[in-house]
Structure 1
Amino acid sequence: MKILIYIMLALAAGLVVFNITKLDFENLLIGDSAVAFICTLAGFCAMLLLTILLISKRIEAQSKK
């Protein structure tokens, strides 16, 4: 499970980096740039949720000891 979470974190980071390259900072919320902006935010949210999951798994393992 831990390896899967790290793989998903790497994929989310790759998604964020890819979408940042597609952003047009002059017209951020128009056209394809809007889609890239939303996907960038979604990638950051996914990274945050996966990090919370990793921390909760670590706490669960320590509480079982």
Structure 2
Amino acid sequence: MNKILTIILIVLAVALIAYNVTLIDFQDPLQGNSVIALIGIVASLCAIVLLLIYMTSKKIQRKIDED
């Protein structure tokens, strides 16, 4: 997976977070569709963390290959 695709996936995850924030009912965030939106936000954050770990591991691999 190249760097451009990884960045596109991170942007999509951020867009999903923004969309799910609009679905949360801040008066009662643990009822109904708000719970689903919160799960979507957590899942998107997990995806971002995994993609950042992947990018970091690729950088390390390139440095090892150079030596």
| TM-score category (smaller protein) | over 0.9
Displacement over 3 Å in runs of 4+ = none
Provide structure 2 residue ranges, at least 5 long, that are not aligned to the other structure: none
Unmatched tracts of structure 1, length 5 or more: none
Q: What is residue 57 of structure 1 aligned with on the other side?
A: 58
What's the C-alpha RMSD, in Å, of the aligned pairs? 0.7
1:20 is displaced (CA, Å) by 0.8
Alpha-carbon distance in 1 for matches of 2:27, 2:56? 38
For 1:2, the equivalent position in structure 2 comes to: 3
Which residue identity lines up with residue 11 of structure 1 in the other structure?
L
TM-score of the superposed pair, with normalisation by structure 2: 0.92
Equivalent residues, number:
65
Give the match for residue 30 of structure 1. Answer: 31
* Counterpart residue type for residue 49 of structure 2: L
